[in-house]
Chains A and B, each alone.
Chain A
């Protein structure tokens, strides 16, 4: 691999960050990666499914809430009657043990919650992370000290503990998925902040930022006009990798009993109730697990794609998925 040799002597382009005019360029670069394209299509489909959940279930003629006691064998712990978890023309993916609720319906509605929560949580993380990161990167030593300390604190706090506590504090009237998203966002922005801070510090050393200062702009204006665009690439990339992580975090919270609550379906919450059914009703576990896998796979591959497309060299400068609180997953 001798990109180094390929690069023309002037060495521009390869080292310069991608220009905004490079939106076209971005698509061109993205299009060259087949894997990323496939992933993009998959993600698009998933989002579509999530959005169209009610429609899809209507087509199937089911809804995620209705019980079908007749479809389960009460004597045997409520295992679905019939082969493959009671798959039938009415119930495309079979029914849920113990309740007989339609699995397809729950799966597609689950997609809504899981994806929704993940996206929202990521949004919050990025929002806080970028804010804190830039402020720390641009601010004077004191500001930096304080914010970096705050970041350390949030990073050093076990996610689960805070989540459990916060979930308990917030009145139960509060819509659960929103709460879950908020909590994840509020306790896991540390890594984003750190990355943004680092990136800001690198960027602000660049001559064009110095030039902007010389022309007399305020720090705020400089942050907005000169830095934010430069941060876009790493942040978008990192966000693309946070989303799948957040999906699994949502699952973990459900496992600990502080996630999304029934009757709302979420993949994580399905997984947690399904894990004991692996033998008696395998598809009950395999469906959400499979869905989760495909999503995470697609999002991660897409994330890589975006990263390479946005900034080939920075690709590896921005390490993947690091820093995210691991509790989510262990």
Chain B
């Protein structure tokens, strides 16, 4: 759900292409040549030195580890913030594995995954040379509970004992802090959870697990110069993260950090740029743009059309995948969507090829029949309960409608956002409208301004009957993908609700609990896949497509790594010499 959060926090006034935020995970689809190509495409052995320019559309408005909503620690932030664990900085599928970072291992679990113990590596230092202690990690996590520093993912709040009560270190005067986090010694930190969570190592990759030295904490002002534990430190932060200059952190040692390659000496982040301008600059490669990459902008359809016509450019395009699904969501409380037959009819009627086209064509979107992303780490299990073929099955749809008692067609309203994101935007909505017409379903479009749209679809009372939605992975696993949407206990009455289908099915809830107990992530993945297939039969959503990201990079850029966790070219691996 990070996308929308980031989009909400920073809607570029007129960004024409998808805006992908920091980080994500997935496993290499078989058709994914992206990374390797790219790696060799740039040619030559990567070497230290030089300045890497990052051209972004979204400024790093939040540079406080407590406020960031990332998975795998984000891109630019992960150059400065080290976390207990982190994503495997490798290309494609292997990139969706979780690996130790500050910690010596992925954590030892006990009491069937309700207690997690981590040990910090030796000789870890901040940019000022002072040692990193487990207390700092604890403090970093506690900060994220403060109202002043809101914005992070909800898991800590939901999982840690007493997390729902805790209001952060500023309000809490007891001095004991959050008691479910224990730091018996300088290097050990223990987490006590209120329920089994086999996927805790994944969570530990988020920036909230970054150590923050209490004496350096400046509250909301901390983000102006966060203390670095990673290979680079912030030397300049202009205009609220619009222009960042990062230089080497002398106290970081590659020995304790096998993940981050940190080739360039300097990293110059310029953001607030128009997406088409970013791609123009990358393809033109003037001056410093030759050694430039982007972490949040990909090729739009128009640009792709041009690039594919140009060999030289085409060789500078990397392909990224990211656990992400765009779908149609039903609210079964609203007629006629209370009738499964109607929901199924619509599932049959959708023309995925035209949806895919609206989303940018087959190179930028893969049509989806499953709710889970088509990646192994999610436990992807292929299914197509209501086969609509390439371009819809209006015949079958009509039949179902007849059975449902709508023999002479049906008129429904499709709610969508007016944001120009090509995901929940009018373009997609109209393509659906066009497809359903063939099945005798008249679709009225209700386009809402983005804020309004988000308010509505996440409110238990005002949720529309049929609307465009999408979900992104907080880490490459079925857990964060299925639980918030289909776990009946996560229905929120008085706030932002994500179980938009209001599914409260004991068997589903129990299965979720069971899987959460597993610490064997592969085994867990398989069962998530099975669960997804099972839920799919209820036709509470119509999966539409999984986006594919085409990333252009400068001509001097080497060692391009695009992990399937993020689908983004990894700035910690890039070399420019």
Contact flag (A, B; Cβ within 8 A): yes
Q: Which residues on A are within 8 Å of B, measured CB to CB?
A: 65-67, 69, 72-79, 97-100, 167-168, 172-173, 176, 255-258, 261-263, 275-277, 279-281
Provide the bound-state CA to CA distance between A168 and B308, in Å: 39
Q: Are B363 and A77 in contact (CB under 8 A)?
A: yes
Q: Check: B436 CB closer than 8 A to any chain A CB.
A: no
Q: Report Cα–Cα, A97/B433, bound state, in Å.
A: 18
- Quick check: A98 and B447 within 8 Å, CB to CB? no
Given A74-B353, A257-B419, A261-B418, A98-B300 contact (CB < 8 Å)? no
Partner of A281, one of B302, B362, B452: B302
* Stretch with Cβ within 8 A of A (4 or more), from B63-71, B195-203, B423-431: B423-431
Q: Which residues of A contact B391 (CB under 8 A)?
A: 69
A76 B308 Cβ-Cβ under 8 A: yes
Residue among B351, B364, B430, B446 making CB contact with A77, cutoff 8 Å: B364
Whether the Cβ atoms of B14 and A257 lie closer than 8 Å is yes
**Interface status of B462 (Cβ within 8 A of chain A):** no
- Contact for B357 among A98, A275, A280, CB less than 8 A: A98
| A256 neighbours in B (Cβ, 8 Å) | 13-14
Chain B, 186-208, contact with A by CB distance < 8 Å: what is the 0/1 string? 00000000000000000000000
Residue pair A172, B447 in contact (C-beta under 8 Å): yes
User: Is the C-beta of B373 less than 8 angstroms from some C-beta in chain A?
Assistant: no
4 extra A-B contacts, CB within 8 A, seeds A73-B305, A97-B302 = A75-B308, A77-B363, A78-B361, A99-B354
The docked-state distance in angstroms from the alpha carbon of A283 to that of B305 is 15
Q: Does B420 contact A (CB under 8 A)?
A: yes
A133 to B419, CA, bound (A): 38
Find out whether the CB atom of B447 lies under 8 angstroms from the CB atom of A255.
no
Question: Chain A binding site: helix, strand, loop or mixed by DSSP?
Answer: loop
With A69-B357, A98-B360, A99-B431 known to touch, is A78 a contact of B301 (CB < 8 Å)? yes
- Beta-carbon contact of B360 and A77 below 8 Å: yes
**Cβ of B276: which chain A residues have Cβ within 8 Å of it?**
275-276
Minimal beta-carbon separation of B96 from chain A (angstroms): 26
> How many residues on the B side are at the interface (Cβ–Cβ under 8 A)?
43
Closest to B365 in A: A74
The 5 lowest CB-CB distance pairs between A and B, nearest first, are: A77-B301, A280-B305, A79-B305, A77-B304, A77-B305
Selected from B306, B426, B449, the residue in CB contact (under 8 A) with A168 is B449
Q: Which residues of B contact A262 (CB under 8 A)?
A: 426-427, 429-430
**In the complex, B448 has a CB within 8 A of chain A:** yes
Q: Is B338 an interface residue (CB 8 A)?
A: no
A277 with B357, Cβ < 8 A, contacts A69-B391, A258-B418 known: no
User: With A and B bound together, what is the CA distance between A214 and B449 in angstroms?
Assistant: 57
B302 to A257, Cβ gap below 8 A?
Answer: no
| Least distance between B474 CB and chain A CB atoms (Å) | 28
Interface centre among A74, A168, A256, A275 (most CB of B within 10 A): A74
Q: B451 contacts the other chain (Cβ, under 8 Å)?
A: yes
Q: Do residues B357 and A72 form an inter-chain contact, with CB atoms below 8 A?
A: yes
Chain B residues closer than 8 Å to A69, beta-carbon distance: 351, 353-354, 357, 391
Please give, as numbers and ranges, the residues of chain B lying within 8 Å of A168 by CB-CB distance: 449, 451-452
Contact B361 A77 (CB under 8 A): yes
B412 CB to nearest chain A CB (Å)? 15
Shortest beta-carbon distance from A65 to chain B in Å: 7
Q: What are 25 A-B interface contacts by the 8 Å CB criterion?
A: A69-B351, A69-B353, A69-B357, A72-B361, A73-B361, A74-B356, A74-B361, A74-B363, A75-B361, A77-B301, A77-B305, A77-B308, A77-B360, A77-B361, A78-B305, A79-B305, A98-B427, A257-B14, A258-B418, A262-B429, A263-B433, A263-B445, A276-B16, A276-B303, A280-B303
